[in-house]
A and B are shown apart, each in its own frame.
Chain A
């Protein structure tokens, strides 16, 4: 991280904007917002050096609520926007936020390639196993027999997408899982994710009170990961495949080459024009 990015001490609330969230009461996304502001305060990041990028969904509203630069993009395309910004402006701390539908369905291809490209980005996916903003349809992480959506009255009948397994297979260099009901643990993971040089993927279990009230149970189901973070992808794969999807903590972290163009100008357009002269 750039020294210029370090700010005088600010408190978490100084990183909140004055836009009021549209989220339903009790939504897990509030806790994510709070963890983001705490992590920024902990890292003493200068607000103007932070850019929050998102796609579309309830979760993707997050940038407007943080007092930093932000881009609220279109559905599924947060990662490309963030990648372009980081490629052009390596000096910024770029944090991407979105939902499971945004990130794994419409944006699935970008997720794979962002993992492979390993740019220095932090990607927070607020996973509530449902499309919140469009009022309760199945998402890629929804269980096959969840039959409450009018679009899939018999359930999806499809195996759910395993975000951590796919991130690992696609080459992500940092994979962690947090829980909205564990704000301290979540803030810590966020700090580590932001500090990680490379693509840091953080799946956050973030309950949807409105369309998945049964997710209130998550607070009883989550548990700390019983494995120390590994840098061995084979070991990590074994663990992630056996995991019940509720293990919290840093699962895998590895130093891999970070993709970042860093070209210094050595020519001007007028120099290039010479190649065309007869």
Chain B
């Protein structure tokens, strides 16, 4: 077995199996081991909508640089068994350079995978597992694959301890035995001597956990929410941890309740957030209009997925942009942000909380299933440029004194008026969904409506958001423009294009509303070819940018719905193929 040399410097592999075969557990251990061995990594998961017993896959890419997308193809496919794999074979692109590993006793590999021309190797996993007490095929395979990838055994063992430690010795001990047995059975010559020293200060975190962490870093101490895939994990992470921070999470009866509960808690002065997915966001939009009109800060993390309440709930798409931008009734200016990667979930959610608090408004943060349910080895967040400057003053302006003349909605030069919190003597007011005058008294006069509307819009459009509105990489006459999670494949496509002699710049939008139009137009400059990349059917961002007159006429759209993830190669093809044709 000498495959390791071809995989040195990083590799992409998938571990598949039917539900319960331990494919995802093996993937989690590998990711942890990769991190311990000093590499970066990204672990994606794929599952069908059934709760137990369906198909599942863990997909891992690792290497010496931060990994921001899964790439185009898999070097290695580790099949623990072949049941149901046909259901998602299209998510596992293989080619003649790929290698399929299978158990010698397993059923035949499905034709659909063999058609790729990938090489196949049969290995004695089951036989080795049977030789151990409570032996597990997934752990034997993991040990063997780890050896083939050149991972030190101690890194694998440490990864297994970190991943399975909570399950107690009855699971951990046989797992470690199997890992060692698989490791030893790999060709000893291909395995380097163990020289494992854990690298400094990297994190192993999922996008949904990152969003939760961003929330608490931003000061959120109250969450009300209703479970929905794939947002539930944000809530599961938050519930026990908010308690440790002195806050709480309340499971509401539905999304209508969740959004209104956080409006209530925020009115009481506690920074508040909810997390949901598209169908839940629809139910929240009336409440969001109330938060905008009553100037109550709230944050919604919307982990997008395919389609409606039914839809494809376990797979990804970027198709809620329209509802996030336009869903609210009346004139309801608010913030829309989108996280650009797993690590970026931390910063973007933290920034969104700060902005919502500071501007006393609604911030919707768009994440999605791929971001939320993938894990990565990342460098810990620092004070990144886009947040650092602003963070210091991103907090709610709270009225401190009993001012007999306190007028809650008094127009101020920047539109942000101090908010009296219940408990402050003399600050009493009624927060209003009804249009109101400066003191909060209901009013349907045109002049009050115009003045308050202007206040609510101006505080958002007049604010200086700093450089955080987008991430811009590279130089070149070709431009890939994107938003949110498709940044990962777009950045990689741009980098590969540059390496192949096509100078390409990438712009990924983090702040979608209010759109930083002038800054965007300046960044677009005189790019000769522009492609707007996004994962939805109707080119929602492309249409939005045009509606804001923020795109030159020659810009083109590459919009493709999910659930297959965007791949760098298809983006490169979309830019270069059609470039040639249309520029004649």
Contact = CB atoms under 8 A, between A and B. Distances in A.
Given A71-B267, A84-B264, A265 B246 contact: yes
A51 B422 contact: yes
22 contacts: A17-B430, A19-B441, A48-B422, A69-B430, A74-B287, A76-B256, A77-B290, A80-B256, A80-B260, A80-B261, A84-B224, A84-B250, A84-B272, A87-B248, A92-B268, A109-B253, A109-B256, A113-B252, A113-B253, A267-B241, A268-B245, A278-B204
Given A74-B260, A85-B422, 15 more contacts: A17-B428, A53-B264, A70-B428, A70-B431, A74-B286, A74-B433, A81-B261, A82-B264, A84-B260, A85-B264, A113-B252, A263-B248, A269-B213, A277-B201, A278-B36
A68 B431 CA distance: 11
Contact of B264 (A17, A46, A88, A269): A88
A69 B428 contact: yes
Given A80-B261, A85-B264, A267 B244 contact: yes
Interface of A: 17, 19, 46-49, 51-53, 56, 61, 63-64, 67-74, 76-77, 79-89, 91-92, 109-110, 112-113, 261, 263-269, 271-273, 276-278
B431 A72 contact: yes
Contacts, number: 198
Contacts of A265: 244-246
B265 to A, nearest CB: 4
A49 B431 CA distance: 15
B202 interface: yes
B252 A80 contact: yes
Contacts of A72: 430-434, 442
A69 B380 CA distance: 42
A110 B377 CA distance: 42
A113 B270 CA distance: 23
A83 B385 CA distance: 38
A61 B432 CA distance: 10
A45 to B, nearest CB: 12
B430 A276 contact: no
Contact of B423 (A73, A82, A91): A91
A68 B430 CA distance: 8
A272 B421 CA distance: 29
Nearest to A109: B253
A174 to B, nearest CB: 20
A89 B217 CA distance: 21
> Which one of A76, A84, A92, A112 has the greatest number of beta carbons of chain B within 10 Å?
A84
A265 B243 CA distance: 7
A48 B264 contact: no
Chain B's interface size range is 35 or more
Nearest to A18: B441
Contacts of B243: 261, 263
B318 to A, nearest CB: 26
A1 to B, nearest CB: 14
Contacts of A277: 201-203
Contacts of B377: 278
A88 B245 CA distance: 13
A53 B294 CA distance: 13
Interface in B230-250: 241-248, 250
A125 B420 CA distance: 28
Nearest to A106: B256
B560 to A, nearest CB: 33
Nearest to A67: B428
Interface string B260-294: 11111111111010000000000000110110001
B261 A269 contact: no
B428 A47 contact: yes
Top 6 closest pairs, chain A to chain B, by CB: A84-B264, A265-B246, A84-B261, A70-B430, A261-B248, A88-B265
A110 B253 contact: yes
Contacts of B213: 269, 272-273, 276
Nearest to B215: A269
Contacts of B286: 74
Nearest to B432: A72
B245 A267 contact: yes
Contacts of A84: 222, 224, 250, 260-268, 272
Contacts of A264: 246
Contact of B269 (A53, A89, A268, A276): A89
B422 A83 contact: no
Contacts of A71: 263-264, 267, 294, 430-431
Given A263-B243, A269-B213, A276-B209, A83 B264 contact: yes
A154 B441 CA distance: 39
A261 B204 CA distance: 31
A54 B64 CA distance: 57
